[in-house]
Amino acid sequence: MMTPQVITPQQMQQILQQQVLTPQQLQVLLQQQQALMLQQQQLQEFYKKQQEQLQLQLLQQQHAGKQPKEPQQQQVATQQLAFQQQLLQMQQLQQQHLLSLQRQGLLTIQPGQPTLPLQPLAQGMIPTELQQLWKEVTSSHTAEEAASNNHSSLDLSTTCVSSSAPSKTSLIINPHASTNGQLSVHTPKRESLSHEEHSHSHPLYGHGVCKWPGCEAVCEDFQSFLKHLNSEHALDDRSTAQCRVQMQVVQQLELQLAKDKERLQAMMTHLHVKSTEPKATPQPLNLVSSVTLSKTASEASPQSLPHTPTTPTAPITPVTQGPSVITTTSMHNVGPIRRRYSDKYNVPISSADIAQNQEFYKNAEVRPPFTYASLIRQAILESPEKQLTLNEIYNWFTRMFAYFRRNAATWKNAVRHNLSLHKCFVRVENVKGAVWTVDELEFQKRRPQKISGNPSLIKNIQTSHTYCTPLNAALQASMAENSIPLYTTASMGNPTLGNLANAMREELNGAMEHTNSNGSDSSPGRSPMQAMFRCL
DNA sequence: ACAATTGTAAACACCT
DNA sequence: GAGGTGTTTACAATTG
């Protein structure tokens, strides 16, 4: 049941580790994954039935004055043990599969965060949850206790996500700890994760650093982490807001990931069928939005945003660009996006994210993946007069990004430094003092410098627009399909988002220019699929 | 290897 | 003198 009939995990891994995947191999892998998903679903249904059965028996046992029906009980226990082993095997298999995909760049999964991509496959049940559920069922806890535990955690999430009016009381607090609000938030978690605490493993603690979104406080040991958690991340407005943001982010990402997976599969199937066709322009564009968004989905999770440059991502060796196919690699070069941090800190790199996660950046202390120059320009352009004093620029930064509510001396110095350094920022003497404006021409000059020396630049600037429109359309379509407010709904009522969207278009233009110049030496012999996987 | 870009830190001058 | 503003230099990291 568990052992794949088509191919073993080892074989699958071998195939996935190869640099080039043929369409046939890919098809096999896709079928493999489908089979895995199907098996997982079947397992879960089976597991649920078993769980219900066991709970029923536990109840019967209680009512019958604890007179266990030994043979039956034994049989069920044996069955469940076997099932548990199968489930674990399945999870391992899935993880191997996902790791392989990750290694190939098909999926970008943050190390240590394997739950995100697993969730859609497991239909919302992650391994730890399954195991926890298993423990609850098999432990001495009654079914009622387990149900009440589930209920409390459910209340927390549903209330937080659905709550449109943020308030401290929107969090359902564990009734057992109503006297101390500070502890009450963490108590349910601790109860459910007590076994993990003994091994000093906590979802919010790793590598000696607090993993609370945007925190990264160094905690020497687990005890100090717990102290830090209780003192710094107590139940207050800030934590509540961050929690809500996190939930929304996760929710969106799950939705996004599911849709993009479906899309990717359809695309793969489509491309496989028509892989012999030499040129298929729409595919690369879809490829960009889909793959990029998938990548973004896995990277945008605040928990996966280590700010300390300790663990660089596993290098995906960039392969020389082949045909004029837009790849995930080329999408890294999106204009003034801070590339050094996009790799180093695993921040979201898609410029769509800044609009998509506008609220996120406002509330979570995550570094925006844009350069100071871009942000300063954005601040100035958003102002009614297209000019701001230094202090107003500061205020924009702190208003728009929670990240810039810390270390003011550092980033303010950087802002001043950028204002002075870049010619595109012009200081204008005013009656009240001085204001800063943007010289758009100078600003636009900056980007082509990056690709100067490429003779095909001028030609490509023109051709880029033909690519850019469908690309934006593809992006928009993707966002719209995923119910993510971007250009469409959000920008209508929010001029900020509209401006950011404009900035994004410009950045995408720059990226397209760059991409086209890189891909100008396309070799016609290679199929789009081959090109795609060469670039992964 | 090199230049360009970017972020960070810091020194300094000027002004209020 | 303190603090804000603006300029400049230096250095490290990253990227093409």
Domain-located, residue A420: yes
In a domain, A23, yes or no: yes
Question: Across A63-72, A301-310, A323-332, which has the greatest mean pLDDT?
Answer: A63-72
User: Is residue A439, in this structure, part of any structural domain at all?
Assistant: yes
Helices marked H in A126-180:
127-138, 143-162
Average pLDDT on A311-319 reads 29
From the CA of A397 to the C1' of C3: give the distance in Å. Answer: 20
Residue A90 belongs to a domain: yes
pLDDT digits (tens, 9 = 90+) for A378-404: 899 989 988 999 999 999 999 999 899
Assess whether A411 (CB) lies less than 7 A from strand B: yes
Nucleotide nearest to A340 (CA to C1'): C14
Span A194-214, pLDDT tens digits: 433 444 577 788 777 777 777
Domain assignment present for residue A81? The answer is yes
- Measured CA A413 to C1' C1 distance, in angstroms: 22
Is the distance between the Cβ of A390 and the closest atom of strand C smaller than 7 Å? yes
| Residue whose C-alpha is closest to residue A527's, from A23, A19, A15, A24 | A23
pLDDT tens per residue, range A64-85: 443 333 444 444 444 555 545 5
Q: From the CB of residue A442, how many other CB atoms can be counted at a distance below 10 Å?
A: 13
CA A130 to C1' C3 (Å) is 58
Q: Where does a domain end: A137, A171, A186?
A: A137
Residue that terminates a domain, selected from A117, A137, A157: A137
A59 found inside a domain: yes
Residues with Cβ within 8 Å of residue A482, at least 6 apart in sequence: A252, A255, A256, A259, A260, A293
Nucleic acid strand B within 7 Å of A414 CB? yes
Q: What mean pLDDT value characterizes chain A?
A: 51
Give the bases of strand C that a protein CB approaches within 7 Å. Answer: 4-10, 13-16
Q: Which of A30-44, A138-152, A425-439 has the lowest mean pLDDT?
A: A138-152
CATH number, residue A375: 1.10.10.10
Higher pLDDT, A438 or A352: A438
Q: How many independent structural domains does chain A possess? A: 2
Nearest nucleotide to A393 by CA–C1' distance?
Answer: C5
Å between A406 CA and B8 C1'? 15
Nucleic strand C within 7 A of Cβ A413:
yes
| CA distances in angstroms from A259 to A58, A102, A256, A289, A506, listed in the order given | 40, 18, 5, 12, 27
Q: Is the pLDDT of residue A310 over 50?
A: no
Helix (H), strand (E) at residue A355: helix A352-356
Tell me which residue range forms the domain holding A100: 9-137
Last residue of one domain, picked from the residues A416, A445, A474 = A445
Q: Are A323 and A524 in contact (CB under 8 A)?
A: yes
- Residue A156 counted as domain residue: no
Å between A433 CA and B14 C1'? 14
Residue range A433-451: average pLDDT?
73
A263-287 tens-digit pLDDT: 767 766 665 554 333 333 233 222 2
What pLDDT does residue A415 have? 94
- The span from the CA of A327 to the CA of A289, in Å, is 10
Structural domain includes residue A480: no
The answer to whether the beta carbon of residue A333 comes closer than 7 angstroms to any atom of strand C is yes
DSSP structure string for A403-452:
GGGS-HHHHHHHHHHHHHH-TTEEEEE-SSSEEEEE-HHHHHHHHHHHTT
**Mean pLDDT of all residues in A133-138:** 38
Q: Could you tell me the distance in Å between the CA of residue A380 and the C1' of nucleotide B7?
A: 21
Residue with CA nearest to C16's C1' atom:
A450
What tens digit of pLDDT does each residue of A140-175 get? 333 333 333 333 332 323 333 333 333 332 222 233
Query: What share of chain A in percent tops pLDDT 90?
Result: 8
